[in-house]
Amino acid sequence: MAQKVVDADMIETIRRGAKAGLTASQIAATLDVVVTTVRRHAYKHGIVLAKAQLDNSPAIRDKQIKQLNLAAAARKKAEKKRLMQVAQDLARIANPQERKEALYGQALMAFELKQAAEGRRDKLPCHAPSPEALEQRRRRDIKNYKPLEIAGITFPSRTLAAEALGVSRGEFSAMISDKATPFRRQKLARMLGEYKRKVKAQP
């Protein structure tokens, strides 16, 4: 198997795969790398991988892998479009010195974006939600505020429950749905158990 360069995109794929409930072997198959590479970088970046379970059927696994591949393809397409736009903008700059400064600015931006993607720094201010967007989100959350009780734990809302368990709101909603797969139900039970132990251990 050819050796692949471990970059921010690969780390993000490992992180997304872990959130989707894929095992190290399944993520390795998606990335076409050996499983030890996935485990090593998951450990390095604090990513918790799912353990192999009987209920993680090939059908569920293949669907999750397909979703990961589609998401990765969409990100690469967006990045390609961005780079083409950058090239066009640079070509419009007639002054060589100004073009050089603009190119340096784009290279610096790309470096900082990579640092943020790898968790080495916070998100760039230009990518952070604006105060207006945060206020709008806060008002929406208040409007949709509905306490949720599950497994003897009461959360203020689904959003806060998802944040407490470390998953997206969509994934959490899928796990508590009446149509949730056995794998998702087991994953939820495991996460709730870990959350209870963490809360109990707090002083």
- Yes or no: say if 107 and 115 are a contact pair by the CB < 8 Å rule: no
This prediction's pTM: 0.38
Report, as an integer, the average pLDDT of 161-171: 83
Whole-number Å distance between alpha carbons of 151 and 145: 19
Domain range enclosing 49 = 8-74
Tell me whether residue 24 is in a domain. Answer: yes
Q: pLDDT tens-digit profile of 112-140?
A: 888 877 777 887 777 777 777 777 777 77
Which of 27, 52, 74 delimits the end of a domain? Answer: 74
Could you tell me the two tokens for 121?
Answer: 């720094």
- Yes or no: say if 79 and 113 are a contact pair by the CB < 8 Å rule: no
Could you tell me the two tokens for 126?
Answer: 């230009």
Could you tell me the two tokens for 123?
Answer: 């998100």
Tell me whether residue 172 is in a domain. Answer: yes
Tell me whether residue 175 is in a domain. Answer: yes
Tell me whether residue 109 is in a domain. Answer: no
User: What is the sign of the dihedral through the CA atoms of 46, 52, 58 and 60?
Assistant: negative
